[in-house]
Structure 1
Amino acid sequence: MTLTLKYFGLLADITQLKEEKITFEEETISVSALKSKVEDSYQNMQNTTYNIAVNQTMSDLQTFIKDNDVIAFLPPFAGG
């Protein structure tokens, strides 16, 4: 399974990437499992609050991700 990960705001600063493609052997993976794998790679994300969207839809940790999905890591938005 190949996923496109997109990082915004502070998260792009932490990862030093705006986008990356990653491959997993699994056919599906939960948002929770993906979050753990990403935080293992970018440990500064562990101390950061952010939301995750799958294919432009806000997702919870139990959402399952499949091949070719686009995952966005979104920092909190300021209102005004």
Structure 2
Amino acid sequence: MIITLKYFGLLVDITQKKEEVFRLDESKVSVSFLKSKMETAYEELKNTNYSIAINQSMSSLDYTIKDQDVVAFLPPFAGG
């Protein structure tokens, strides 16, 4: 499975990337599993609040990611 990961705001600073293509060997992957995998790859994410959106819709941690999905890591937004 191939997915595209996009990072915004301070998450770009942590990952040093705005976007990356990620290959997963597993055929069924939950958002929770991906989050854990990314926090292992980028340890500073563990101490950061962020949300995850799949294909431009906010996602729950139990959502199953599909091949070719676009996963966005979003920092907290302040209103005003």
TM-score bucket of the superposed structures, by smaller chain: over 0.9
Are residues 1:16 and 2:16 paired? Answer: yes
Per the TM alignment, residue 26 of structure 1 is displaced from its structure 2 partner at its CA by 1.2
Moved segments of 4+, more than 4 Å: none
Tell me, in whole angstroms, the C-alpha distance in 1 between the residues paired with 2:66 and 2:27.
6
Letter in 1 for 2:14: I
* Count of paired positions: 80
Per the TM alignment, residue 28 of structure 1 is displaced from its structure 2 partner at its CA by 2.0
- How high is the sequence identity, in percent, across the aligned residues? 62
Deviations 1:21-59 (A, max 9, x none): 110111120000000000000000000000000000000
Letter in 1 for 2:9: G
Q: TM-score, normalised by structure 2?
A: 0.98
Per the TM alignment, residue 68 of structure 1 is displaced from its structure 2 partner at its CA by 0.4
- Which residue number corresponds to residue 74 of structure 2? 74
Unaligned runs of 5+ in 1: none
Aligned CA-pair RMSD = 0.5
Per the TM alignment, residue 4 of structure 1 is displaced from its structure 2 partner at its CA by 0.2
Tell me, in whole angstroms, the C-alpha distance in 2 between the residues paired with 1:55 and 1:64.
12
Tell me, in whole angstroms, the C-alpha distance in 2 between the residues paired with 1:26 and 1:55.
20
Q: TM-score, normalised by structure 1?
A: 0.98
- Which residue number corresponds to residue 2 of structure 2? 2
Unaligned runs of 5+ in 2: none
Specify the SS of the correspondent of 2:17.
Answer: coil
